[in-house]
Amino acid sequence: MFKELLQKINERKAKIGIIGQGYVGLPLSVELAKQGFKVTGFEVDNSKVDMINKGKSYIGDVNTAEMKELVKSGKLDGTADFKNLAKVDVIIICVPTPLRKSKDPDVSYIISAAKSVQATLKKGQLVILESTTYPGTTKELMLPMLEETGLKSCKDFFLAFSPERIDPSNKKFGIKDTPKVVGGLCELCTELAAAVYGTFTKVFKVSSTEAAEMVKLLENTFRAVNIALVNEVALMCDKLKLNVWEIIEAAATKPFGFMPFYPGPGIGGHCIPLDPHYLSWKLKTLNFYSRFIELAGEMNSKMPEYVISKTADALNNKGKALKNSKILVLGAAYKKDVSDLRESPALDVINLLITKGSKVHYYDTYIPSIQNCACGHTLRSEKNLSGLKKYDAVVVVTDHTNTDYKKVLKDSKLIIDSRNAFKNNKSNKIVRI
């Protein structure tokens, strides 16, 4: 069965099913279809299924014209019928892995996907988990569920883990330019998974599924800890009356031993705020307390409050109180040039401003509305920047490249810039974190 499936993969005759068609699943579906595979996207959201089958992209990094061509050629389709998993040779799981309020891992989406695979599992199939999770999930959670069918891993079916490495809106490193890490239950599982990803990118094999799971957590914990460090340096520089952006720019001229990270209003997205806590939770079950992860989380979570403090001080210097001031939050997405609101620090900034009595509006061409705000109703983005003069302050939270910063500078009374969007501009209107 190993040789037969490997031959199918190498000859692009293997049928691939990808569970979850979001920021990770859809780009992967399109890329594998471009390599010649017949790919089916499995998705519980019928509206996404309809868009896939119409060849319409709902992800910024996926080209609609390419999708249409793939759908037209029969290489790509979508379905909400998970019984069709029985028709594919390779199943890749790309579902969300959020945290509960207690910061414990919520693996319910993985369990749901595994149950769907379990219900249709057949001999000779390869199953790959891509969802970010704690070390041991593939072997301790998924493997027992799949073997409940009576089929045996590495004999009747194959199981591997390969962490997703999608960075939305990154024009330099897309899915084809980023190597894939692969770890299987055995060498056969690793070889098959590597063969799939090797059709479009470089592959680095590790010794186990646990090692592959740990790789992803190391990557994002590294980022979270370094962002926390530079956020603390920003607070230090504020006390020392220094420009943290100048300090980082100068330090970055060193060609070795330094990697620049930048401060901001907090961290967001589905990875950096969550992934380190997956690792921390796992370690707590082994009586190990991760001080770096906890401290980094504490530091990063303070940044929205720091932005509010800087805003209040800047308004006070203008003879105004934060309460009843009219404030425009510029940018709501968690990072620039994406339409993803998940874990965005803008949500914290907006809610903190509202609870302190400010009259808050926001502008973001990628995020038309924000629900469940502290104001008790849905906030809707301003249609344009024509009314800047009516605001007491503009707080830059997300520095989208399509924003007219010249107009913002010209028409605003006061700007609190948490992203260095007005780099090297010395206007006395600008207050930087």
Which tokens hold the place of 401? 């490249």
pLDDT band at 147 (very low <50, low <70, confident <90, very high): very high
Q: Structural domains in the chain?
A: 2-206 (3.40.50.720), 227-233+261-432 (3.40.50.720)
Is residue 169 over pLDDT 80? yes
> How does the average pLDDT of the chain come out, rounded?
95
pLDDT range class, residue 108, cuts 50, 70, 90 = very high
Residue pair 51/58 in contact (Cβ under 8 Å)? The answer is yes
Neighbours of 134 (CB within 10 A): 23
Distances (CA, A) of 267 to 60, 275, 301, 432: 21, 12, 8, 17
- H/E element, 42: strand 38-42
Answer yes or no: is pLDDT of 3 > 80: yes
**pLDDT of res. 276:** 86
Q: Answer yes or no: 271 catalytic.
A: yes
Per-position DSSP letters for 201-229, written without gaps between them: S-EEE-SSHHHHHHHHHHHHHHHHHHHHH
Which of 189, 271, 373, 375 does the annotation list as catalytic? 271
Q: What are phi and psi of 327, to 5 degrees?
A: -125, 135
Write the pLDDT tens digit of every residue in 5-63.
999 999 999 999 999 999 999 999 999 999 999 999 999 999 999 999 999 999 988 99
Contacts of residue 131, Cβ cutoff 8 Å, sequence gap at least 6: 20, 93, 94, 95, 96, 97, 109, 110, 164
Q: Are strands 359-363 and 369-370 parallel, antiparallel or unpaired?
A: unpaired
Per-residue model confidence (pLDDT) at position 98: 86
Query: 138: which DSSP letter?
Result: I
